[in-house]
């Protein structure tokens, strides 16, 4: 039963000339002043969410984004500032890209944030998908197996920092501490200072593949799934549940999963689709080349696989797939409840902010959602 409500804001500025016939994604360039606007947009949206009773604002780590779609390079730092601008809202990291971090430094930063905000920063980790970012930071991405190998070792070191009072860690990529002389003795172990106040640390990760699901279940990570078509959503939720049971982690189906979808309210479905379509299309102009079209055709084949559609999806496709809910409050409630009914453990619903939608319009949508949609769901 859905009890908690989240928003995903990947960090886009207010884009101009949006839509399929608008400015090509690769041609967008903005000044430093424009690119900085997203920080204050995050503050304004966070303050509204705090007032309206939302639970978590999730944001995305990215680098070198001169195109203006994802401009937040440090989520813990941003969350710390936003916590000073709000009263109770939490701030989720979706996601700290581990291959671009030293895991001990990330663990320390998170621990400090957890202490000074009293638990209002939510940890999330990912492997990355932008070659421009990950490879520039000197980590592998083009070699997917090396990326996965590095990520898993980094995750083990991160968890060791959180879970062990003192430790010696030795892997293929890291040894902490190294066997060096220190103040007259041979260094054998270290303690991370400080350690988080809230233990064990709740860590979220996006579901990207079967191997990812197995790793998540093995290490006790929670799952985020957003803008997936109904069939692919069902496949991954069930696979995650089965993997958790395999590793001795008993959960209800849908438990420890955040399900995200697009939402747009209007006086009719046709009006909602008409108003949202340019912003929706702008999103997929940027994200479709990265493989972020997670829909299935009538034969169950994922878009982009042999025989399945390979085109950029239309909003009507997303509505049919139940990745986007457009229409009156009653229609949106019915759509969300049709998914909720499948998963007895599902407690988290997340609104995905369509990347081409202006902040003013999105905030109006949040107010309407809270007034006419949220009351249909039981609150925690």
- Judge residue 184's burial from the number of C-beta atoms within 10 Å of its C-beta, 0-12 exposed, 13-18 middle, 19 or more buried: exposed
State the average pLDDT for the chain.
Answer: 96
Beta strand pairing call for 121-126 and 175-176: unpaired
Kindly tell me if the per-residue pLDDT of 62 is higher than 70: yes
Q: What is the pLDDT of residues 177-201, one digit of tens each?
A: 999 999 999 999 999 999 999 999 9
- Judge residue 199's burial from the number of C-beta atoms within 10 Å of its C-beta, 0-12 exposed, 13-18 middle, 19 or more buried: exposed
User: What percentage of the chain has pLDDT greater than the value 70?
Assistant: 98
Confidence of residue 211 (pLDDT cuts 50, 70, 90): confident
The mean pLDDT value for 103-129 works out to 98
Confidence of residue 297 (pLDDT cuts 50, 70, 90): confident
The mean pLDDT value for 343-371 works out to 98
Kindly tell me if the per-residue pLDDT of 271 is higher than 60: yes
State pTM to two decimals: 0.96
DSSP collapsed to 3 states, 197-226: CCCCCCEEEECCCHHHHHHHHHHCCEEEEE
Confidence of residue 298 (pLDDT cuts 50, 70, 90): confident
Under 8 Å CB-to-CB from 215, ≥6 apart: which residues? Answer: 152, 155, 221
Greater confidence (309 vs 49) lies with 49
Q: What is the pLDDT of residues 229-258, one digit of tens each?
A: 999 999 999 999 999 999 999 999 999 999
CB 343, CB 243: distance < 8 Å: no
CA dihedral 12, 347, 238, 373 (to 10 degrees): -60
CA dihedral 97, 98, 99, 105 (to 10 degrees): 120
Give the CA radius of gyration of the chain.
21
3-class state of residue 242 by DSSP: helix
The mean pLDDT value for 47-61 works out to 98
Kindly tell me if the per-residue pLDDT of 379 is higher than 80: no
Please give the pLDDT value at position 249: 97
CB 168, CB 188: distance < 8 Å: yes
CB 162, CB 199: distance < 8 Å: yes
What counts of helices (H) and strands (E) characterise the chain? Answer: 11, 14
The mean pLDDT value for 329-348 works out to 98
Please give the pLDDT value at position 323: 97
């Amino acid at each position: 039963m859905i009890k908690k409500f989240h928003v995903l804001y990947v960090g886009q500025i207010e884009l101009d000339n949006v839509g399929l016939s608008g400015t090509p994604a690769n041609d967008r360039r903005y000044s430093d002043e424009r690119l900085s606007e997203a920080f204050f947009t995050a503050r304004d949206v966070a303050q509204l969410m705090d007032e309206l009773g939302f639970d978590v604002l999730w944001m995305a780590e990215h680098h070198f984004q001169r195109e203006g779609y994802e401009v937040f390079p440090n989520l813990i730092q941003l969350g710390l500032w936003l916590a000073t601008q709000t009263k109770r809202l939490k701030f989720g990291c979706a996601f700290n890209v581990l291959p671009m971090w030293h895991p001990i430094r990330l663990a320390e930063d998170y621990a400090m944030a957890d202490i000074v905000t009293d638990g209002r920063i939510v940890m999330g980790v990912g492997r990355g998908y932008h070659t421009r970012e990950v490879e520039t930071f000197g980590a592998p991405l083009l070699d997917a197996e090396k990326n996965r190998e590095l990520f898993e070792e980094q995750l083990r070191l991160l968890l060791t920092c959180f879970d062990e009072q003192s430790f010696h860690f030795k892997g293929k990529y890291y040894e902490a501490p190294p066997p060096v002389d220190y103040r007259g003795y041979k260094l054998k172990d270290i303690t991370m200072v400080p350690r988080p106040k809230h233990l064990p640390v709740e860590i979220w990760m996006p579901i990207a593949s079967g191997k990812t699901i197995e790793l998540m279940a093995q290490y006790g990570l929670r799952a985020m799934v957003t803008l997936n078509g109904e069939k692919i959503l069902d496949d991954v939720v069930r696979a995650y549940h089965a993997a958790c049971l395999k590793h001795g982690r008993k959960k209800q189906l849908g438990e420890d999963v955040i399900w995200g979808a697009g939402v747009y309210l209007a006086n009719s479905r046709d009006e909602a689709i008409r108003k949202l379509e340019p912003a929706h299309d702008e999103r997929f102009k940027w994200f479709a080349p990265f493989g972020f079209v997670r829909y299935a055709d009538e034969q169950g084949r994922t878009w982009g696989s042999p025989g399945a559609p390979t085109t950029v999806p239309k909003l009507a496709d997303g509505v049919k797939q139940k990745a986007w809910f457009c229409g009156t409050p009653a229609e949106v409630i019915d759509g969300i409840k049709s998914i909720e009914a499948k998963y007895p453990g599902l407690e988290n619903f997340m609104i995905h902010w369509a990347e081409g939608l202006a902040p003013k319009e999105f905030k109006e949508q949040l107010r309407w959602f809270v007034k006419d949609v949220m009351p249909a769901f039981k609150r925690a």
